[in-house]
Every structure is written in structure tokens, then in C-alpha cells.
Amino acid sequence: MTRQSRDISNQMPKATHIAALIENAILNNEYKQGESLPSQKDLCEKYNASSRSLREAFKTLEAKGLIEVSQGKKAFVKTNRLDQYVESLSTSMFSQERQDRKLYSDLLEVHITLEVSAARELSRSPERMPIVKTMEDSLKKMDKDLIIFETSGDKEAVQDFQSCDFSFHLAVVSSNNNIVFRSIYNSLAPQLKKIMSSLPETLEERRKKVREYGYLVDALRQGQTDLAVALTLVYTTSLRQKFNAHYEEEQA
């Protein structure tokens, strides 16, 4: 594991990191539908994790419909696809009329699943370079916008930064050949863009974002799947956490 990989992994809760690794293995058919996962003891040793962290990871994977845990704590793979989970969650969202915190939190959960899945597939695609170039172009514009804002305080530069930020992620998700995923994302995109542009960011947070997006572009270019997935997971999860924290502050 590279130093960069370790740094990214350290930014994630242990259970989240383990869930992402097992999910990746399931979606790669390393554990096929109907097969059992290794014992909890073996998984704890493999990932250097506590039984508590592993149980939390299992809960995440169960919520996504990927595994089923029996009373004997043996886990079985239910499916090697995320389509049903995404469709179910998005259908539940569309059936709600209120634009409340739960709705937006569910939206960000869908976003996490869609973008992480897309980053995983993009990193392996032999035709990924044009998409990576599009992402790199958005990143360059974001970097220029930061310079303009720092030197002049131009608020239009911030608006352009936010627009490029969204375009960066749109390029990732749109690269996914899964028609269901792309259709759902297109339906959710306006609300997601609204959330992203409404959250306050400091100048240092924007600088950090540009650096980490640069790491993601490099990982995708070099086909480093595990690193690309970890970077995408860190950002999308932190976006949801930031939204929850901002919502709580507003309510207070």
C-alpha cells in the first residue's frame, strides 16, 4: 500500500473502509452470489479489525442488499450487483413529498453508491482517458477560480468553482455504462447540485478539495482501482457528513 493509500484509508472510519473493501470484492465476483464470506475471525485478521468494526461493516453491506448474515453470524453473498439497492432507495425518495433532511440524506447515500461504483468501473476501462481528460479540465478551471478569488475576491469565481466541482463528479458518474445508474443520477442531479452549492466552504477546504481531486485523476489515469475507490468514498462520505453537520447547525 502506498503512503497516499494509507493516508486516504486513515481518513475513513475503520468499518467504512472494511465495508468498501468487501463490497469491492463482491462486485468483482471474488465472492459470488450464494457463496459464504470467510469467517468473521478470518476477516478480522485479514483487515486488522475488531469484531465490532466488522459487524458495523456487515450492517452496511446488509443495508445495500449485498450480503445476508445468519444467526450463526455467517455471512452469505446475496447478489453481486447494486442495482436493486439503488432502485429501491431512489424509489423511496421519489415517493416522499417533503424536502427534509432524511430525503437529502438518502440522496447523498445514493450519490455515494453511484459515484464509487462509477469510479471503480472507470479505473478499469481501457477507454477512460477522454473522461479523465474532461475531469482534469474541470480541475484546472477550479484551480484558476481559486487564484482569481484569492487575488480579487470575485464571487463569480466561487460560482464557477462550484459549477466545475459538480461537472467533475458528473463526468465520473456519466462514465458508468449502467443505464439504471445513469438514469437515476440524471433524475437526482439538480437536487444534488443544489446541496453541493449550498454548503459553506473555506478557502482552505477548497484548496484541499482541488488537491484530492488531483489524486483521483492520477489514480484513474494509472488504473489504480483501490485508490480511486477510496478517494471517491472519502469525498462523497465527507459531503454527506458535512451536510448533516450544516443541517444541525441551521436547526439549532
Residues of the chain with pLDDT > 70, as a percent, come to 88
Average pLDDT over the chain reads 85
This prediction's pTM? 0.77
| CATH (domain of 19) | 1.10.10.10
For residues 41 and 106, state if they share a domain: no
Residue 209 has pLDDT above 90, yes or no: yes
Position with higher pLDDT, 45 vs 104: 45
**Domain range for 170:** 83-251
For residues 23 and 71, state if they share a domain: yes
Q: Give the residue from 35, 51, 77 where a domain finishes.
A: 77
The total number of structural domains that make up the chain: 2
For residues 219 and 116, state if they share a domain: yes
**What are 116-134's pLDDT values in tens digits?**
989 999 999 999 999 999 9
Q: Give the residue from 54, 77, 100 where a domain finishes.
A: 77
For residues 63 and 87, state if they share a domain: no
Position with higher pLDDT, 52 vs 251: 52
For residues 66 and 153, state if they share a domain: no
Helix H, strand E, coil C: the string for the chain is: CCHHHHHHHHHCCHHHHHHHHHHHHHHCCCCCCCCECCCHHHHHHHHCCCHHHHHHHHHHHHHCCCEEECCCCCEEECCCCCHHHHHHHHHHHHCCCCCCHHHHHHHHHHHHHHHHHHHHHHHHCCCCHHHHHHHHHHHHHHHHHHHHHHHHCCHHHHHHHHHHHHHHHHHHHHCCCCHHHHHHHHHHHHHHHHHHHHCCCCHHHHHHHHHHHHHHHHHHHCCCHHHHHHHHHHHHHHHHHHHHHHHHHHHC
**What are 18-39's pLDDT values in tens digits?**
888 898 888 888 899 999 999 9
For residues 68 and 11, state if they share a domain: yes
For residues 194 and 88, state if they share a domain: yes
Q: How does residue 99 score in pLDDT terms, banded at 50, 70 and 90?
A: low
For residues 119 and 69, state if they share a domain: no
**What are 47-81's pLDDT values in tens digits?**
888 999 998 989 888 888 889 988 767 899 988 88
